């Protein structure tokens, strides 16, 4: 099968959408499908590259300087008085945005003889819409997956923060209408579907919850060699509270730092390890100085590959204070590595972080509750071991192999259905009158 994946966020950017899109492309290729990914160019210029057996068409792009591209560390912020740093407002290495991708998509497909059997759109931006337009003109079925929550962007743009509630509602309506252009729509969890559609069963196309999944062959419980601690200058005799992901405002890591400060009253031998980078890094570093805990909070920057997996493995508990997850791949990864998890009781997190089963759910920004939950796990090894065991059972439902198989089934459904539909407008009109 020839499959086109359209993703306005793609590797080497590091976030849930880009990681899932990359996993999807790799696994479909391994199963014998011809895969072409359409994504923004990281250099700005159109280019085509081959990687791991599939093709990535990098479409011309411009710099969006208010959101990091996450492909390289943010430049060091300027400091005042030796310690206080100025938050970054303008980013030279901002997110790359393809403004007019349709012609390049059309040209690539024409001159390379690539006519997809199905198009799978990962994000509702310019490339996603252009691929839908291309698919409609060429009678190609479309599958749309909505991974994102509007808060993931607009709550992080400080200039728009006061208007974010209105903008978020507008974007939710937009993403719903975007999905209605598809032949089949998926979201990572049932809660995500319910947030967008009051009655999904009445939608004109099927809507289904399909987990993003992770590769359970890679993320496993395993003892980490002491050399890993030496490599990253981490203490070997402390209890480790772990947070992994984008270091942006909507992730509410400041709440976690405040909770960690409270936790130190009962667990003086604990440390907080934050893995990732983002626009809120400066504010968080300032906060640790203000709370006088900078020597107990480790900012590790972006990590990938085996190092990322080992950061999960060395944790005693994984904690996220983010209220904006549509599923949260990091929760999947932590559970797969046998770690108790703590999250916010909003949206889809409860499907992975099950309160009292493999961790605890807390109210949004409830510092005391998060601190108390951390203390319960760190001070009770029997409870932590029980949560770890239960998490390993829960994660079995989120094996990436199951996810890929499910999408193959969906692709076949929409391709078979599209083959029975009339191709030209005259036939469509006649068919409508017959009905």
| Tokens standing for residue 322 | 């983010």
Domain boundaries, the chain: 2-210+400-434, 226-397
| Tokens standing for residue 109 | 């497909």
**Alpha-carbon radius of gyration of the chain:** 22
HEC-encoded secondary structure of 116-184: CCEEEECCCCHHHHHHHHHHHHCCCCEEEECCCCCHHHHCCCHHHHHHHHHHHHHHHHHHHHHHCCCCE
| Tokens standing for residue 314 | 């060395």
pLDDT at 75: 59
HEC-encoded secondary structure of 357-400: CCEEEECCCCHHHHHHHHHHHHCCHHHHHHHHHHHHHHHHHHEH
Q: How far apart are CA 236 and CA 228, in angstroms?
A: 10
Residue 142 Cα to chain centre, angstroms:
21
Provide the total of helices (H) and of strands (E) in the chain, helices listed first: 15, 18
Q: How far apart are CA 370 and CA 368, in angstroms?
A: 6
Structural fold of domain 2-210+400-434: Rossmann fold (3.40.50)
Helix axis angle, 329-336 to 305-314, nearest 10°: 70
| Tokens standing for residue 33 | 């499908």
| Tokens standing for residue 286 | 């300032």
How buried is residue 216: exposed, middle or buried, by Cβ count under 10 Å (0-12/13-18/19+)? middle
Helix (H) or strand (E) holding 94: strand 94-97
Q: How far apart are CA 336 and CA 390, in angstroms?
A: 10
| Model-wide pTM > 0.85 | no
Q: How far apart are CA 232 and CA 391, in angstroms?
A: 27
pLDDT at 435: 47
Helix, coil or strand: residue 288: helix
Per-residue pLDDT of the chain (435 residues; tens, 9 = 90+): 999 999 998 988 877 788 899 999 999 999 999 999 999 998 899 999 999 999 999 999 998 766 666 666 655 666 655 555 555 555 666 678 899 999 999 999 999 999 999 999 998 889 999 999 999 999 999 999 987 655 445 444 444 455 555 655 666 666 667 777 899 999 888 877 777 676 766 678 899 999 899 999 999 999 999 999 999 999 999 999 999 998 988 899 999 999 999 999 999 999 999 999 888 898 999 999 999 999 999 999 989 899 999 999 999 999 999 987 766 789 999 999 999 999 999 877 888 899 999 999 999 999 999 999 999 999 999 999 999 999 999 999 899 999 999 999 999 999 999 988 877 655 554 455 444
Strand ranges for 223-296 from DSSP E: 239-244, 270-275
Q: How many C-alpha atoms does 428 have within 13 Å on its Cβ side?
A: 6
> Do 2-210+400-434 and 226-397 share a fold?
yes
Q: SS3 breakdown of the chain: % helix, strand, coil, rounded to 5?
A: 45, 20, 35
pLDDT at 349: 83
CATH for 226-397, options being 3.10.290.10, 3.40.50.2000, 3.40.50.300, 3.40.1190.20 = 3.40.50.2000
The sheet with strand 297-301 has its strands ordered as 297-301, 270-275, 239-244, 317-319, 341-344, 359-362
């Amino acid at each position: 099968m020839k499959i086109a994946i359209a993703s306005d966020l793609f590797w080497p950017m590091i976030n849930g959408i880009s990681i899932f899109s990359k996993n999807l492309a790799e696994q479909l290729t391994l199963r014998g499908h011809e895969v072409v990914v359409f994504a923004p160019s990281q250099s700005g210029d159109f280019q085509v590259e081959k990687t791991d057996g599939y093709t990535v068409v990098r479409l011309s792009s411009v710099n969006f300087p208010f959101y990091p591209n996450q492909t390289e560390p943010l430049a060091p912020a300027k400091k005042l008085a030796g310690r206080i740093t100025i938050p970054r407002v303008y980013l030279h290495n901002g997110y790359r945005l393809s403004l007019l991708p349709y012609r390049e998509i059309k040209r690539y497909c024409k001159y390379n003889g690539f006519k997809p059997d199905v198009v799978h759109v990962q994000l509702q931006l310019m490339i996603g819409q252009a691929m839908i337009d291309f698919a409609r003109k060429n009678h190609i079925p479309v599958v749309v997956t909505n991974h994102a929550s509007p808060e993931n962007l607009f709550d992080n743009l400080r200039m728009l923060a006061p208007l974010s509630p209105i903008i978020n509602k507008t974007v939710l309506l937009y993403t719903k209408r975007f999905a209605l252009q598809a032949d089949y729509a998926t979201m990572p969890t049932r809660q995500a579907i319910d947030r967008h559609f009051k009655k999904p069963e009445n939608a004109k196309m099927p809507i289904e919850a399909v987990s993003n999944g992770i590769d359970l062959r890679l993320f496993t419980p395993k003892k980490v060699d002491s050399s890993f601690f030496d490599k990253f200058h981490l203490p070997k005799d402390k209890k480790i509270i772990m947070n992994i992901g984008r270091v942006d405002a909507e992730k509410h890591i400041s709440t976690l730092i405040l909770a960690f400060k409270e936790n130190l009253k009962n667990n003086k031998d604990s440390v907080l390890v934050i893995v990732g980078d983002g626009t809120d890094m400066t504010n968080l570093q300032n906060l640790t100085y203000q709370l006088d805990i900078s020597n107990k909070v480790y900012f590790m920057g972006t990590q990938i590959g085996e190092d990322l997996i080992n950061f999960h493995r060395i944790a005693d508990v994984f904690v996220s204070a983010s209220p904006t997850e549509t599923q949260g791949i990091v929760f999947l990864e932590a559970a797969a590595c046998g770690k108790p998890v703590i999250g916010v009781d909003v949206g889809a997190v409860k499907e992975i972080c099950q309160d009292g089963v493999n961790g605890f759910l807390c109210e949004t920004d409830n510092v005391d509750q998060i601190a108390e939950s951390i203390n319960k796990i760190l001070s009770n090894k029997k409870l932590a071991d029980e949560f770890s065991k239960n998490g390993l059972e829960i994660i079995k439902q989120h094996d990436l192999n199951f996810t890929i198989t499910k999408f193959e089934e969906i692709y076949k459904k929409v391709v078979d259905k599209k083959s029975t539909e009339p191709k030209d407008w005259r036939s469509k009109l006649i068919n409508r009158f017959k009905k």
